[in-house]
A and B are shown apart, each in its own frame.
Chain A
Amino acid sequence: MTTFIIRRVATIIPTLVFVSLLIFGLQQLLPGDPAMILAGEERDPTVIAHLRETMHLDQPFPVRYAYWLRGVLHGDLGESLRLQQPVRGLIADKLPVTLELACIAIVIALAIGIPAGVVSAVKRGTVWDYGANVVALWGLSTPNFWLGIMLILLFSVTLGWLPASGYVSPFDDWRANIASMIMPAFVLGNAIAAVLMRHTRSAMLQVLSSDYVRTARAKGVLERDVVLKHALRNALIPIITLGALEFGTLLSGAVLTEQVFTIPGFGKLIVDAVFNRDYAVVQGVVLFTATAYIVLNLLADIAYAIVNPRIRVQ
């Protein structure tokens, strides 16, 4: 197992190097002098001089990259020009809100996706199966920002049950927190539920046709136990990997969802940074997201190897 982990960790190092190159290279896309653009509309000569010095703009690309990478490795993701705060601190401030949203969204996605996938596989070819597939297609095809607007129209404007926007910390008022998070979390969980449903259905169909399930049935085990205890347990193993892969979908979705519901999270941070031309924040957020995605995938692979020893041998 140790060899597997070392080997797997070694494979992420070149990927991380490429990610850092890609994100640093984004600066090269800026037309003209980066210092002039990064200094904003005021074009303060002091700011421009400061940027030239801190960004080593008189140096060639590899040297600038080396300086930037050294900063990143020391936890320095740069400074927001607009807010005059370290990017690392901004991410740390906004991340808990998005993580809360993501966790509730995952719970909703699991609660919808897995039962729907199981029912669809067990009742294959019936109206239940078709119904679940239609719901999955609906989930995959609905733009989440539109779904958010429609939910606001129904639950906030028409029925007046839930707040249309805003965020309340759970430490201030947990009821208000749930009320403010339930709609955005449903919007975010909706698309993931559809993906989960499709994967669960496919895995369940495969497991239900295996020999040990046939043996369990032949022994007279109750069908409910065959499905829940024998089939579902094994079918759920690949969901570990899927959970890590869907992290990207969650963060992408959070950008739009937080925008619709005015939630001051990670997604809103990047959008605000884009409009304020706060490029250090944009780079920092993308770097953090990509690194978190790679590390989560690594953890998922290790978890998968723990529950499935064949992976280690391969």
Chain B
Amino acid sequence: MIPATAVDATCDRPRVEPVKKPRANALRRLLRRPSAAIGLIVIASFVIIALGAAFIAPYDPVATNFSTVRKAPSIAHWFGTDEIGRDVLSRVVYGARASLLAGVVSVLISISVGVPVGLLAGYAGGVTDMLISRATDALLACPFLILAIALAAFLGPSLTNAMIAIGISATPVFIRLTRGTTLAVKAEDFVLAARAIGNAPWRIAIRHVLPNIVPPLLVQATLAIAAAVIAEASLSFLGLGQQPPQPSWGSMLNTAKNYIDNSPWMAIWPGVSIFLLVLAFNVVGDGLRDALDPRYS
């Protein structure tokens, strides 16, 4: 722990040093990294685009117009039009909603299941830990996307079910990470002290262990959003995510691949959008990892 004050041995009076705030320092270190700062700007831009889609999109994303079928980019349609005359730019703008929503909601599902279960496994130990760990191994043994496809297939194709499928498939990573970090924190002196003064196990786990395992979880959550955005696009590409006519970058690419020889613009912009958003989350995740690493303090 960093002391709030320190006594300067060379002075008669105690010298008050400014309190170091680890979170503020970490944020400062994160913003000092140009790549992470750009990544944050890109994410913020996509959030603004998703929230303000109704004001930003020049056309209705589902409105068809058979007089403008597969038109190349022009002043009227900056990103061109698709196979039934819908404006690609408007669909890309609205598609940001599905991708961001899927990324954030599925990771929230993973965290809300994975963290309590991992905390229980790490803190309780014994048979509970053994059972949870084996179940986690079983989930981890199923490749992420294949499990998500299987779950989405059994649940039925929709964006909500895709988010649930991605959330469940990503949960074991959070269980394992939380369990591992809980085991490390559990052995710390302050946890022993909390136990010695008679705190209940659930109180120690929530009040003392949980706040100390947040940094690695935050890093994992950021990287998991990147993976979830790709997973949602993949499921939508396969027809298991957002259903037509609602726009999604993945489903736009699925349609675009059939017209790649004469309407390549249909494939370029949704792909660039996925790439930029995923890259931004990956870069911020990497930056957070370095910023929250005590060795960089």
Partner of B282, one of A137, A152, A273: A137
A206 at the interface (CB under 8 A from B): no
Is B257 touching A149 in the complex (CB atoms < 8 A)?
yes
Smallest CB-CB separation from B281: which chain A residue? A141
Is A141 touching B150 in the complex (CB atoms < 8 A)?
no
A157 at the interface (CB under 8 A from B): yes
A208 at the interface (CB under 8 A from B): no
Partner of A149, one of B134, B138, B233, B260: B260
Is B154 touching A142 in the complex (CB atoms < 8 A)?
no
The distance from the CB of B64 to the nearest CB of chain A, in whole angstroms, is: 23
CA distance A145 to B241 in the complex (A): 15
B59 at the interface (CB under 8 A from A): no
CA distance A274 to B139 in the complex (A): 20
Majority secondary structure of chain B interface residues (helix, strand, loop or mixed): helix
Chain B 237-280 interface mask (CB, 8 Å, partner A; 1/0)? 11110000000000001001100110010011011001100110
The distance from the CB of B260 to the nearest CB of chain A, in whole angstroms, is: 5
A-facing residues in B196-244 (Cβ within 8 Å): 226, 230, 233-234, 237-240
Is A141 touching B267 in the complex (CB atoms < 8 A)?
no
Is A146 touching B138 in the complex (CB atoms < 8 A)?
no
B62 at the interface (CB under 8 A from A): no
Is A141 touching B146 in the complex (CB atoms < 8 A)?
no
B6 at the interface (CB under 8 A from A): no
Is A142 touching B143 in the complex (CB atoms < 8 A)?
no
A271 at the interface (CB under 8 A from B): yes
Smallest CB-CB separation from B154: which chain A residue? A29
Is A290 touching B141 in the complex (CB atoms < 8 A)?
yes
B7 at the interface (CB under 8 A from A): no
The distance from the CB of B165 to the nearest CB of chain A, in whole angstroms, is: 10
- Report which residue of B226, B238, B278 has the largest number of chain A beta carbons within 10 angstroms of its beta carbon: B238
CB-defined contacts of B154 to chain A, threshold 8 Å: 26-27, 29-30, 279, 282
CA distance A135 to B275 in the complex (A): 13
A282 with B150, Cβ < 8 A, contacts A141-B278, A146-B253 known: yes
CB-defined contacts of B240 to chain A, threshold 8 Å: 274
Tell me the B residues contacting A by CB distance below 8 Å.
134-135, 137-139, 141-147, 149-156, 226, 230, 233-234, 237-240, 253, 256-257, 260-261, 264, 267-268, 270-271, 274-275, 278-279, 282-283, 286
